């Protein structure tokens, strides 16, 4: 089997070899767009690129990276893939050996790992199981501080307030939201705080309570849920501005609106969440909330390092800023 090189990735991503090297090594000082970073990550994934680094110092230890999704599911989830790359790049820089663990895989023995990072959403039972490993643990993308677990999460409140204020400033009197529902791998349904936060933000900005429809975080669900909204909400009450809980859903929702003869953004405003690269190439280009995915992964490793050094004796929650990005939709 041919081993992929940085040159191969550079060719597929249409960037320089130097840019590929700096992005894959987690260089946050490099001035490059999120779209370019994600294109490089996608090319590396497609080519099954594996870094072969020679450590000049003894390994710092082994870190288990637990995945919420299966390996097959993860290939289509750009959001979590970007976070994972941030984790892996930062672990490599710190000299750690990585052990990936997918749902259904045997768990490592606690004496074989120095720490653990869990990426995704987990039930109380799963969090309790993690604690039995008796190693420092950081969870990414779920607020589990109340369970006594250190975590890294994106900011929801600030960008949702910005969206609400933007819609009200544009004189939208009818506002809607497509929310998503998630479950842990052992079947526990999770509560997304964004419908409550967005409702509060809209009311605080002077608007009426938004119309909220709930689906799943997929393009297909965004399409079918918006189609449902178009058939169940009277035309006179149909929202003229929609916040949609992720970009993947937003893509499907815009398709449903356009098929119904509604123009985006002339008649309906749409703002997504996550800032996936594909959103820039839609017609119209998708307004969204940028989430610092790679930085979340990097921050989790840095936070784990402080736990390994016994710098903190209490669980911590680190919240990274998210920002509203207005484009055409």
Minimal CA–CA distance to 122: which of 51, 66, 181?
Answer: 66
Please give the model's pTM, rounded to 2 decimal places.
0.81
| 10-residue mean pLDDT series, the chain (329 residues) | 70 81 67 74 71 48 90 74 89 90 88 93 94 94 95 97 98 96 87 94 97 94 97 95 95 96 96 88 92 93 91 90 94
Minimal CA–CA distance to 289: which of 318, 259, 321, 252?
Answer: 321
Whole-angstrom distance, CA of residue 180 vs CA of residue 190: 10
Cβ atoms of 62 and 113 within 8 Å: the answer is yes
Alpha-carbon distance values, 276 to 39, 138, 151, 273, 287 (Å) = 11, 24, 23, 8, 11
Which domains does the chain show, CATH number per domain? 1-51 (1.10.260.40), 59-153+294-320 (3.40.50.2300), 157-291 (3.40.50.2300)
pLDDT digits (tens, 9 = 90+) for 145-192: 999 999 999 999 999 999 999 999 999 999 999 999 888 888 888 888
């Amino acid at each position: 089997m041919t081993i992929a090189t940085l040159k191969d990735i550079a060719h597929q991503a249409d960037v320089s070899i130097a840019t590929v090297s700096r992005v894959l090594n987690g260089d946050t000082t490099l001035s490059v767009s999120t779209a370019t970073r994600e294109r490089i990550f996608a090319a590396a994934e497609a080519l099954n690129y594996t870094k072969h680094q020679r450590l000049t110092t003894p390994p710092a230890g082994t870190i288990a990276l637990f995945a919420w999704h299966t390996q097959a599911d993860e290939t289509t989830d750009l959001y979590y893939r970007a976070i994972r790359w941030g984790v892996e790049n930062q672990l490599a820089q710190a000299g750690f050996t990585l052990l990936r663990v997918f749902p259904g895989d045997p768990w490592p023995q606690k004496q074989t790992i120095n720490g653990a990072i869990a990426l995704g959403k987990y039930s109380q039972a799963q969090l309790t199981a993690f604690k039995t490993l008796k190693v420092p643990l950081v969870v990414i993308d779920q607020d589990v501080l109340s369970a006594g677990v250190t975590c890294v999460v994106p900011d929801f409140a600030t960008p949702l307030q910005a969206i609400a204020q933007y819609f009200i400033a544009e004189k939208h009197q009818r506002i809607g939201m497509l929310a998503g529902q998630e479950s842990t791998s052992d079947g526990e349904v999770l509560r997304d705080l964004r419908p409550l936060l967005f409702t509060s933000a809209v009311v605080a900005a002077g608007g009426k309570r938004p119309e909220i429809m709930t689906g799943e975080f997929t393009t297909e669900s965004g399409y079918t849920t918006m189609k449902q909204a178009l058939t169940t909400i009277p035309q006179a009450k149909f929202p003229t501005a929609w916040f949609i809980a992720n970009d993947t859903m937003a893509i499907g929702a815009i398709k449903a609106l356009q098929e119904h003869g509604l123009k985006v953004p002339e008649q309906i405003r749409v703002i997504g969440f996550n800032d996936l690269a594909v959103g820039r190439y839609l017609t119209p280009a998708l307004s969204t909330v940028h989430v610092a995915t790679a930085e979340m992964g990097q921050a989790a490793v840095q936070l784990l390092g402080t736990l390994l050094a016994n710098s903190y004796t209490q669980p911590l929650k680190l919240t990274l800023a998210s920002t509203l990005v207005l484009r055409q939709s």
